Structure 1
Amino acid sequence: MSCRLDVSVVAPGTAHRNHCPHCLASLHVDRRVPGDRDADCRGRMEALSMSTRPDGEWVIIHQCASCGELSANRIAGDDNPYALVRLALRPLVDPRHAGRALFAL
């Protein structure tokens, strides 16, 4: 991942580890189903923004730096709460991030 810290394969609250709990970056390894590890890209997925599902669950919106694909990944129980809040507040601090996310959609 981007921060190069050790990441456990166990992710509390989700069946598949799909991002670093420290920096929230990911790798483009899944194609259609979480955990399928069927993507050929293997590019770095940047944590772009946050969203919530209708049930209130938080998800991280990632964008692949190689191919541009977007994905939504559930947060995990061991994610750094400061990193999550910083990501959620990013559009308020720098409106360019919100425009970038909307443009990507």
Structure 2
Amino acid sequence: MPRRNNHRDRRRGQRHKDVGHGHDRHPGGFRCAGCRLDVPATAPGTAHRNHCPHCLASLHVDRRVPGDRAASCRGRMPPLSTSVRPDGEWLLIHQCVACGELSANRIAGDDNALALLRLALKPLCDTGVATRMVLTL
């Protein structure tokens, strides 16, 4: 049987597929990089959803302004700790594992209260966390 030498030249391009593979479940939402749950785009108490309400992990997508989605890093940002503003509003402190940048994000109304409490109590359980946080600032 003769061997075809030009089989690469005769390949067809890939067909367009109409299958959504679940991407349309939450229009504007995302899949969490930490726990892989589907997260809706809307969040009570904030205009820009930027972290998973279950595990509190985020992605490095915003550069300077919340919601600008201008960062090119796209690294995973696990939560490090919490902070409280003078008016009583809680913030999540995230650190990017790719570039090391720190960011503060407002909590949302549907965030897991137990995960927030564990994160807030973490410095009391592990004194090394507070020392590392001071050294990174």
Superposition TM-score tier, normalisation by shorter sequence: over 0.9
Which residue does 2:55 correspond to in 1?
23
Aligned residue pair count: 105
Alignment gaps of 5+ in structure 2: 1-32
Which residue does 2:103 correspond to in 1?
71
Deviations along 1:70-102, one digit per CA (max 9) or x if unpaired, are 000000000000000000000001111111222
1:3 is paired with a residue whose SS is: coil
How many Å apart are 1:38 and its aligned residue?
0.1
Aligned mates of 1:8, 1:60 — CA distance in 2: 19
Which has the higher relative contact order, 1 or 2, with Cα contacts under 8 A spaced 6 or more apart? 1
Larger radius of gyration: 2
Higher helix share: 1
Alignment gaps of 5+ in structure 1: none
Aligned mates of 1:86, 1:26 — CA distance in 2: 17
Q: What are the equivalent positions in structure 2 for 1:49-60 lying under 5 Å apart?
A: 49-60=81-92
The one-letter amino acid of 1:60's match is: L
The answer on 1:41 being equivalent to 2:73 is yes
Which residue does 1:13 correspond to in 2?
45
Aligned mates of 1:11, 1:104 — CA distance in 2: 30
Per the normalisation by structure 1, the TM-score is 0.97
2:122 is paired with a residue whose SS is: helix
The one-letter amino acid of 2:91's match is: V
C-alpha contact 1:49 1:101 (8 A) present in aligned 2: no
How many Å apart are 1:6 and its aligned residue?
1.5
Using the aligned pairs only, state the percent identity: 73
1:71 is paired with a residue whose SS is: strand
The one-letter amino acid of 1:71's match is: S
> After TM superposition, what 4+ stretches of structure 1 lie above 3 angstroms from structure 2?
none
